[in-house]
Amino acid sequence: MTGVVEGDGAGPRPWKLPSPRQVLLVLGVFTLLSLIGGGVYAYLHRHDTICRDGRPPAEQLDLGLGQIEYKCHDGQIVTK
């Protein structure tokens, strides 16, 4: 022996880890609530429009990097 004491190699942890079943249950509940929340939000905002006049844009131009410029029927230009 070189001075190493025999044992399990690790002391007791001061915290208790959740079981894999609990972790999967929490992830499943979170996913379900996120899907329901997203659906409710989409339903409540289904009539929101880009243009103030409530009509769809007449033209759109891709500005790059995810920005799009919309031209409305009343001449308004909206960048999103």
SS (H, E, C) the chain: CCCCCCCCCCCCCCCCCCCHHHHHHHHHHHHHHHHHHHHHHHHHCCCCCCCCCCCCCCEEEEEECCEEEEECCCCCEEEC
Instruction: Give the mean model confidence (pLDDT) for residues 38-64.
Output: 90
What is the residue range of 39's domain?
A: 20-79
Establish if 15 belongs to a structural domain.
no
Establish if 44 belongs to a structural domain.
yes
| pLDDT reading at 40 higher than 80 | yes
Establish if 65 belongs to a structural domain.
yes
Rounded Cα distance between 36 and 14, Å, is 37
Rounded Cα distance between 79 and 77, Å, is 7
Establish if 42 belongs to a structural domain.
yes
pLDDT of 5 reads: 60
Position with higher pLDDT, 30 vs 15: 30
Establish if 27 belongs to a structural domain.
yes
Position with higher pLDDT, 10 vs 56: 56
Average pLDDT score, the chain: 87
